[in-house]
Structure 1
């Protein structure tokens, strides 16, 4: 683990990331020290920094630090955490800040391969996402809604839970983004009020557009999800998981889902 470029495991107790969740993070896969989906990961990180008015680290520096922490791992999970750094008590942003940058690596644990091959079982979560457009899309450090939603079940047969916002609109999975296939179009929730805009989501959208597919971001209801021809979830570590079962509704992995899996 590197903290501001130096090996370490400790940060200040007054760090605003710890005190207020004042920061953001990205989680990604690296192979032989090279991060996957970096184009989209960097795009999202830079956009999130701008949205939070957080100084963005140098891209070359980050790539160097990723290579350093993953040097002894053939396949690694990389986590980048950026906070506004240490500060005095109070919510007000300091006029000048010295950000804290944490880059760590852990050995790849992976997921059961049958999730990608056969699809997964998911459930509806009771915990709902608050509507806050100022934070929509950002992978900020305040993820308690997702933590609470994931705590709702302990059945290992259920791989993911789908979350709604306070208006009952479908937003995302607890750790993934959602896509539907309907009438030859690719549909995904509009993330202008809440939710996380993941790097894999951006990659899927760009890939689909390059294939000549129509991609629409819109507000989706639970009945629309249940009526879809194909449904899949994705994130940067899991890749694409077809949805096999949600409540009483069942699907088989569809042709477009399989095509995107092969390409990505």
Structure 2
């Protein structure tokens, strides 16, 4: 499907675009089913938070309407929205008169092996560490070189995802997912105030768990905590939940809370 640039079909950008020059922008990756973008409100909430923190004056009503129109044409698949600060003056200073640039791209549905969701996946323990930068923590910004380097660390299909720690050794997330563990019936995920991406599915699962009376905790996670976990899983807004069966010498069963939340995630992505 053709890409759209600022609401019109196109595949060309200005060489002055700040997203290209500096990674100055944000993006959202949205599952589309039956012509509808799934978890749209959560995606737009995160985008608005990112725009606020980066001081980007975007027209969020226009973005919503374009997303809905593009998804209707795409039908089924994965929609990627890229929002850049637009064209730049020379140097780091932004042109206050520049309008943010909206880029929409469509791809076919992603097909993962059914075993990922059924038997679980193995994580590769990445050597690449996430830098600590509270000003950018949680944002889905365009600077993804840490993930690019981490993803290059393993080849083949033995591992479906990588495990990423921060510079101080805290367990943060997967390369393209958020990580949860279950300990004594409590659903635990990493504190993302220093680094990491605050995923849309992560937010939805925390909300769903609280609604069901499942205790939740957002805290620092050490490798020791991971080792002691009863269940581990990773999630994102495209595939839902994959149980984690192993990482290096560690292993975990696919537990009942993982299965319960996996059913909820599947329902959300089948909407």
TM-score range for the pair, normalised by the shorter chain length: over 0.9
Query: 3-state DSSP class of the match of 1:158?
Result: coil
Unmatched 5+ stretches in structure 1? none
Residue 46 (structure 1) aligned to one of 42, 45, 48: 48
- Give deviations 1:215-264, integer Å, cap 9, x for gaps: 11111111111210000000011110000111112122110010011112
Partners of 2:100 and 2:250 in 1: CA distance: 47
Aligned pairs for 1:98-247 (under 5 A) are 98-247=99-248
Instruction: Return the offset for 1:21.
Output: 0.3
Partners of 2:111 and 2:205 in 1: CA distance: 20
Would the aligned equivalents of 2:180 and 2:233 in 1 still touch at CA under 8 Å?
A: yes
Identify the residue that residue 26 of structure 2 maps to in structure 1: 24
**Paired residue total:** 263
Would the aligned equivalents of 1:34 and 1:66 in 2 still touch at CA under 8 Å?
A: no
Give 4+ residue runs of structure 1 displaced > 6 Å after superposition. none
Instruction: Return the offset for 1:58.
Output: 2.4
Instruction: Return the offset for 1:40.
Output: 1.3
Unmatched 5+ stretches in structure 2? 266-271
Query: 3-state DSSP class of the match of 1:45?
Result: helix
Would the aligned equivalents of 2:58 and 2:100 in 1 still touch at CA under 8 Å?
A: no
Give the aligned CA root-mean-square deviation in angstroms.
Answer: 1.2
- Give deviations 1:97-151, integer Å, cap 9, x for gaps: 2110011211112211111111001121000011000000000000000000000
Query: 3-state DSSP class of the match of 1:201?
Result: helix
More displaced, 140-149 or 46-55? 46-55
Instruction: Return the offset for 1:72.
Output: 4.5
Instruction: Return the offset for 1:69.
Output: 2.9
Instruction: Return the offset for 1:38.
Output: 1.4
Partners of 1:24 and 1:9 in 2: CA distance: 18
Alignment TM-score, normalising by the size of structure 1: 0.96
Would the aligned equivalents of 2:24 and 2:141 in 1 still touch at CA under 8 Å?
A: yes
Partners of 1:12 and 1:56 in 2: CA distance: 19
Would the aligned equivalents of 1:2 and 1:65 in 2 still touch at CA under 8 Å?
A: no
Would the aligned equivalents of 1:2 and 1:103 in 2 still touch at CA under 8 Å?
A: yes
**Do residues 90 (structure 1) and 91 (structure 2) align?**
yes
